[in-house]
Amino acid sequence: MSTIGSFEGFQPVSLKQEGDDQPSEADHLSMEEGDQDKTPVWREISRQSSVTKSTLCPNPYHQPYISRKYFVTRPGTIETALEDLKGHIAETYGETIQGFWLLTEIDHWNNEKEKILLVTDKTLLICKYDFIMLSCVQVQRVPLSAVYRICLGKFVFPAISLDKRPGEGLRIYWGSPEEQSLLSRWNPWSTEVPYATFTEHPMKYTSEKFLEICKLSGFTSKLVSAIQNAHKNSAGSGREKGLMVLTQPILIETYTGLMSFIGNRNKLGYSLARGSVGF
Q: Give the pLDDT confidence score for residue 240 in this predicted structure.
A: 54
* Nearest C-alpha neighbor of 194 from the set 155, 242, 140: 140
Q: Give the pLDDT confidence score for residue 101 in this predicted structure.
A: 98
Q: Give the pLDDT confidence score for residue 31 in this predicted structure.
A: 46
Dihedral in degrees, nearest 10, Cα atoms 256, 257, 259, 265: -130
**Is 36 a member of any domain?**
no
DSSP category for residue 122? S
Domain of 102, CATH number, reads 2.30.29.30
Q: Give the pLDDT confidence score for residue 67 in this predicted structure.
A: 78
Q: How many CB atoms lie within 10 A of CB 148?
A: 20
List C-alpha distances in Å: 138 to 46, 59, 128, 232, 239.
Answer: 48, 31, 5, 29, 28
**Is 190 a member of any domain?**
yes
Q: Give the pLDDT confidence score for residue 192 in this predicted structure.
A: 84
| Contact indicator for 234, 218 with CB cutoff of 8 Å | no
List, as one string, the DSSP characters of 225-256.
HHHHHHHHH-TT-S-TT--EEEE--EE---SS
- Total structural domains in the chain? 1
Question: CA–CA separation, 195 vs 169, rounded Å?
Answer: 13
- R_g (Cα) of the chain, nearest Å: 28
List C-alpha distances in Å: 236 to 110, 146, 150, 232.
Answer: 35, 11, 21, 10
**Is 50 a member of any domain?**
no
Q: What kind and span of H or E run contains 86?
A: helix 77-92
* Nearest C-alpha neighbor of 83 from the set 68, 100, 67: 100
**Is 90 a member of any domain?**
yes
| Contact indicator for 130, 85 with CB cutoff of 8 Å | no
Tens-level pLDDT at each residue, the chain (279 residues):
444 444 444 454 444 444 445 554 444 444 444 444 444 443 343 334 444 344 444 455 456 667 789 999 999 999 999 999 999 999 988 998 999 999 999 998 999 999 999 999 999 999 999 999 999 999 999 999 999 999 999 999 988 888 889 999 999 999 887 777 777 777 777 878 999 999 999 999 999 999 999 999 999 999 999 999 999 987 654 555 689 999 999 999 888 878 888 999 899 999 999 876 544
Question: CA–CA separation, 223 vs 260, rounded Å?
Answer: 28
DSSP category for residue 8? T
Determine the 3-state secondary structure of 103 from DSSP: strand
The domain in which residue 183 lies consists of: 63-264
Q: Give the pLDDT confidence score for residue 72 in this predicted structure.
A: 95
**Is 197 a member of any domain?**
yes
**Is 72 a member of any domain?**
yes
**Is 215 a member of any domain?**
yes
**Is 25 a member of any domain?**
no
| Contact indicator for 65, 173 with CB cutoff of 8 Å | no
